[in-house]
Amino acid sequence: MTTGTITAAAAGSWRLGDLEVNRVGFGAMRITGSGAFHQGVPSDRGRAIAVLRRAVELGVNHVDTAAFYFSRLRSANELINSALAPYPEDLVITTKVGPGRDPSGEWYGAKPEQLRGQVEENLRQLGRDHLDVVNLRLFGPRGTTPAAELFGALAELRQAGLIRHLGLSNAGAEDLAEARAIAPVVCLQNPYGIDIRREDDGLVRECAAAGIAYVPFFALATTGREGGRGGGEYPAVEEVARAHGATPAQVRLAWTLGRGANVLAIPGTGDPDHLAENVAAGALRLTAEETARLDALGGPEAGAR
């Protein structure tokens, strides 16, 4: 499919509270470098900045980031600040707190009293006075972190004016219910894709009914390859891609967006060509037959690659 003239507006838009965003956004995790949690080879700084600027030129106005996205020499928040400040008025930056990494890269789970420091760290790095959306990323396996106390601490920071809207990440239906009893939730961000965590199908519909955005990450990954695109693709995905003159990654994104008007995609890349392909996927419309065929890949009868 042609990518050159397609912008992020092709996929339509959704509102995060009072903030309207195009449904194809950009995830900043991959722009810092390669390796597990990006402690491998740092990215080329100029190329990363160019990709961020090109994303905005292509109509992306939803950027997902976190202070813990850093490699040995690169910080995603610093790259975003350098590339995009002064920020366009319609740009919405979503970040995450809960997990943290010390300067050596070691992980920890924040206590409620540590969340203000994490919020302020994001503010400093991004050069902002408030954060548009902050997701509480529940640390560890889903269901092991009590959400209420942590979310309550973020709700207090929202009341103080440091945060505009709140969301959740790595959360289930019970976590969502607990959080909504404390403060409004505008988005839920979970791993999800054609063959990843399809047990969230019902949660996607629950969020839609409540006016909450569902924001999958790892939507381009195949099972067992949640760190990035590529490797062991299903023949069905490849066949649908050939039928549309598209790439398998574009088909995966189109399937994801087709799950509901409340579903937002945040594919990340450090490659300008992949960026254009990801944005163009917002214009790809799958047939009902193709969608049903891809749906079946995540069911109990899913076939081998």
Which residues, including other chains, have CB under 8 Å from residue 208's CB and lie 6 or more apart? 214, 260, 261, 262
Q: What is the Cα–Cα distance from 38 to 29, expressed in whole angstroms?
A: 8
Q: Alpha carbon of 211 to those of 74, 169, 177, 188, 193: distances in Å?
A: 36, 16, 14, 11, 21
Taking a C-beta distance cutoff of 8 angstroms, is the pair 56, 87 a contact? Answer: no
CA angle 189–175–67, rounded 5-degree value: 45
Q: What is the Cα–Cα distance from 65 to 267, expressed in whole angstroms?
A: 12
Helix axes 115-126, 147-159, angle to 10 degrees: 50
Q: Which residues are catalytic?
A: 69
Burial of 300 (0-12, 13-18, 19+ CB in 10 A): exposed
Q: What is the Cα–Cα distance from 232 to 197, expressed in whole angstroms?
A: 18
Tokens 């470098």 belong to 33
Radius of gyration of the chain (CA): 18
Helix (H, G, I), strand (E, B) or coil at 170: coil
